[in-house]
Amino acid sequence: MTKWDQKIDWLINRLKQDQSSDGSWAYPFDTGTTTDAYMIILLRTLAVQEDQLIRGLAQRILSKQSDNGAWKLFADEENGGNLSATVEAYYALLASGFVKKDDPRLVSAKKFILEHGGIQNTSMFTKIMLAITGKYKWPAFSPFPVEMILLPAACPINLYQFSIFGRANLIPIMILASRKFSMKMKNSPDLSDLFSARHPGHSWPENRDLLDWIGEELKKISEFPERLHASALDRAKKYMLARIEPDGTFYSYFSATFLMIFALLSLGHFKNGPIIQNAVKGLLSMATVIDGLPHMQYTTANVWNTALISYAMQNAGVPKEDETVAAANRYLLSRQHNRSGDWKIHNPHGAPGGWGFSDINTINPDVDDTTAALRALIREAAGGTQTREAWKRGVNWTVSMQNRDGGWAAFEKNVHGKWLKLIPVEKAEYLLGDPSSADLTGRTLEFLGNYTNLENRHPAMEEGADWLIRHQRKDGSWYGRWGICYLYGTWAASTGLAASGIPASRPALKRAAGWIQSVQNHDGGWGESCRSDIHQTYIPLGHSTLTHTAWALDTLIAVSEKPTVEMEHGITWLLSNLEKQDWTTAYPVGQGMAGTFYIHYHSYRYIFPLLALGNYRRKYS
């Protein structure tokens, strides 16, 4: 057995060992310390007795503090740390009751906070959390009028022109802001000394923005504005309650559930009532353990992990009859959606058949998870009637979600209005919109081109390829919305174009390969900084990561008829570093709420090297 085969077998065996009893993989969805901090604050505010968990979360938060007192979203973050994350961590540690204000670690954190503008310079979402818990004053007017929920879907500007992800967070915020609700915990810590007098900084946006104007105009045309307001609150409440998942969470999202709990409290629900108690239990169920300490996941990633792993293993030669693969595919089939969600509003003729991201997700499918699950099921679908029908439903749903511009988005169809830039929210076009993206369009084309019988001349294929070619950057790269960042987008777009029949000699793929080669590190690997997302331009990490290297290699494999020198150099680095453990193996390579939190997928270090090595061996051996 060659070293190459040994490394592939090592990856496969490691994945087999980590499979859960239900057939899924529950690798952590690691988003840093923000959710840990919010969970402490929530539990203390509701007086939920979870001292052991709170102590563990506090220990984890402290373990992530930098020497300068700050907390970071990623290792090479600018300014020495992240102000919002540091304020959240400071608040949570005090709220836990296990760390005192004169603790040197908190003294150091306070110094960082004040030097960087104080609480008033934090992000809007941090301010909202502080306002909810009585640490920050709500604005004089609501920048998010709840009356907007009454606008019909046919109206050019309405809540259904936001992404489902943005809508799930915005609706409870609208309720809370309209009622200026706050609820202090017992023995609430004093944060007044975190306001900086030297740096007045930014407060709430006090200018009248588009949403506020819409709310005021609705009130003017209403004969009974108070009744209109009450009706809007009632509809917002019903929207949330109708989308609670079986585990009690709102769409399986931590932030949306956190906000929903307080929104329901503001509307008169009791904290000991069943809806709020079940929501808290649902959040508690998303706890995982990393390096011996608890972490509150933003959501679970079981479906995503399982679909990618099942496919990567089969691609590397594991037969579909292998019990690991068979159990994984049984799990995936059990998680296919059978009822419609909000996606139906802009896709009225589509039938359910997609997959969601998390373990408990029944009405919020997305295109990327769906094609990932379908890749895993393709071999089984070829031989089994039941699986074949499920596979067809998934393919049909995927095709039906193509945007009119030719691309694919994550959750919605044709939700990408330019007017979103008028809303006073950081990166509103990414948080509240769901436009076509290079990663979703590329991965969808790769699936359709390699695993279905759609011809390259099919309109869906041609329009998708045209979208990608139109959106390629001058340097040959593409921006990836859900990964870091240009390496991710270029990998997805290149493999998608190749699968759609675009020859490697075409300028788009030649430029893509040239760009990939131009950003290769001297050691043979690739690595990209999360700062690429913030500055919207490629910024090298200065170190190679397993995942970025695998994406870059898979790009070159897709567009090269024979191995290249750059490819061989990258393969050598990958084979030599598969088992390493250092800060680069924990570096985030996924992004969620653009510029606000980044994701370390613990599964990626195994999945994508296995995929690249499997593709190399199949194509060139």
User: Catalytic positions, please?
Assistant: 368
Q: How far is CA 531 from CA 441, 474, 534, 550, in A?
A: 23, 20, 5, 20
Long-range contacts of 560-569 (CB under 8 A, 24+ apart): 560/504, 560/513, 561/504, 562/620, 563/616, 563/620, 564/517, 566/516, 566/517, 566/520, 567/616, 569/520, 569/524
The three state secondary structure string of 105-167 is HHHHHHHHHHHCCEHHHCCHHHHHHHHHCCCCCCCCCCCCCHHHHHCCCCCCCCHHHCCHHHH
The three state secondary structure string of 75-112 is CCCHHHCCHHHHHHHHHHHHHHCCCCCCCHHHHHHHHH
Sign of CA dihedral 123, 128, 134, 137: positive
What is the CA angle 346-352-356, rounded to 5? 90
Sign of CA dihedral 185, 190, 192, 194: negative
Residues 377 and 353 sit within 8 Å (Cβ to Cβ)? no
Residues 438 and 478 sit within 8 Å (Cβ to Cβ)? yes
Peptide bond just before 485 cis, omega within 30 deg: yes
- For the chain, how big is the Rg over CA atoms in Å? 24
**355, β-bridge pairs:** 366
Backbone angles phi, psi at 433, to 5 degrees: -105, 165
Residues 350 and 344 sit within 8 Å (Cβ to Cβ)? yes
Residue 222: Cβ-neighbour burial (10 angstroms; 0-12, 13-18, 19+): middle
**Strand bridging mode 293-296 / 287-290:** antiparallel
How far apart CA 279 and CA 285 sit, in angstroms, is 10
